[in-house]
A and B are shown apart, each in its own frame.
Chain A
Amino acid sequence: MRTKEFLSRLEHDQIVKAIRDVESKTSGEIRVFIQRGELKDDPLIAAQKRFQRLGLHKNAQHSDVLIFVAPRAHKFAIMGDEAIHRKCGEQLWQRLVEKMREHFRNEKFSHALIEAIREIGEAMATHFPKKSTSTRDREQ
């Protein structure tokens, strides 16, 4: 699927709202990245590169999560930083990916993303709840 078509079928406002809801409860951040064009790397590697490109690894808590989608290649990945990975482990990512794949196959793209964002958000809120005094060394 062309990236443009994929993007046109996303309910951007809903996705942004889902991210905001999550981020109101956790000190971590969730990002979604839609890769344009072909995908040369394995989606996990591409997601990892993009993770760092977006500066998400700079979060001192290492709790950020990136959902990476390459519509053209029909590939996607969920990538979590060190700390959240340690807390939640492989199973969470695998479970989320399975769910997303089902939704993607049924072309429920927004739903796939929003559901994943919410579930990740729950895990993040549990392990990295928002603290009013939380200090983050990332420049905004």
Chain B
Amino acid sequence: MAALHAVEATEIIPPSPAHYFNDYAGIVSQSSAAEFDRQLMQFMAATSNQVVVAVFQKMQSDDDIAAYTQRVAESWAVGQKDKRNGVVLFVFVQDRKMIIQVGYGLEGALPDIVAFNITEYQMKPQFAAGNYEAGLRTGINSIFKAIRGEYTATKPAVQEIPRHHHNIAPLLLLVLSIPISLLFGLHRTATKGVHISSKGTHWTIDWGQVVFFWLNLILGSSSRSSSGSSSSNGGFRGAGGSFGGGGAGSSW
């Protein structure tokens, strides 16, 4: 409880910025800052979509960057209130972190994957080389393009795929393994035994049970209630009464 309180105590939500481009860290020349601000303003005028850039020296929270900047962006209320068409690019220089927060009115045009793409592959290389201005310029232009529907994450997307696969592969495997293991388990229980005749030795699989199971699974719970009783014998008609044969059983 005390720790939680301490986190909240150290977090500061900065006041709403005065400009579209706000460099609180002083990493961009005044002329460039003015140019960026003008571009952002023009974009707002042309498309009504509000893109704000805020460069801070340091994150004033111990929380995760995404959660913190989400709160900041909400308090700033960027974008038109009813359309929620605002975007904020946050950069924290000392933390070497950045993120694009997208109002949900623009999530279609600028989904998280594209936003991540822009920071990770357009901006980060420039920042890593110390070119803050170039990084911000390409970042801003990419955001514009994305909102206009021009940004198709072509080349970086190729790099993105393996990275993404890495995350999704185990999940995919898990999801796939469920029906597969079901299938194997089912075939095990549906395998009734071995049948030896003059034609040789064969495993006997109760296909009726297999088909019944899958039909049941596909058709849903409506018929599931009856599965318990009949699945093991798969609707075997009780012709036992008419059986006039005989035999003997024993155990060893």
Contacts and interface: CB of A to CB of B under 8 A. Distances in A.
Interface of A: 3, 7, 12, 15-16, 19-20, 23, 29-36, 42-45, 47-54, 57, 62, 68, 73-82, 84-85, 89-90, 93-94, 96-98, 100-101, 104-105
Most buried by B among A3, A53, A85: A53
A89 B247 CA distance: 8
A103 B165 CA distance: 59
A interface, by DSSP: helix, strand, loop or mixed? helix
B145 interface: no
Contacts of A45: 240
Contacts of B240: 45, 48-49, 52
Interface string B175-215: 00000000000000001111111111100100000000000
B194 A76 contact: no
B250 interface: yes
29 contacts: A15-B196, A15-B201, A16-B196, A16-B197, A29-B197, A29-B198, A31-B195, A36-B191, A36-B192, A47-B249, A49-B233, A50-B192, A50-B193, A52-B239, A52-B243, A53-B236, A54-B195, A73-B251, A75-B251, A75-B252, A76-B249, A77-B248, A78-B247, A78-B249, A79-B247, A81-B244, A85-B244, A93-B247, A100-B252
B207 to A, nearest CB: 12
B245 interface: yes
Interface of B: 191-201, 204, 233, 236, 239-240, 243-252
Contacts of A20: 198
Contacts of A30: 197-198
Given A73-B251, A74-B251, A33 B194 contact: yes
Contact of B196 (A19, A96, A98): A19
A49 to B, nearest CB: 7
Given A16-B198, A51-B245, A34 B193 contact: yes
A100 B250 contact: yes
Contacts of B194: 3, 7, 33-34, 36
Most buried by A among B233, B249, B251: B249
B239 A16 contact: no
A94 B244 CA distance: 17
A35 B193 contact: yes
Given A43-B250, A48-B240, A101-B250, A12 B196 contact: yes
Most buried by A among B240, B244, B251: B251
B239 A90 contact: no
A85 B243 CA distance: 11
A98 B251 CA distance: 10
Nearest to B251: A75
A78 to B, nearest CB: 5
Contacts of A15: 196, 201
Most buried by A among B196, B243, B245: B245
A33 B201 CA distance: 9
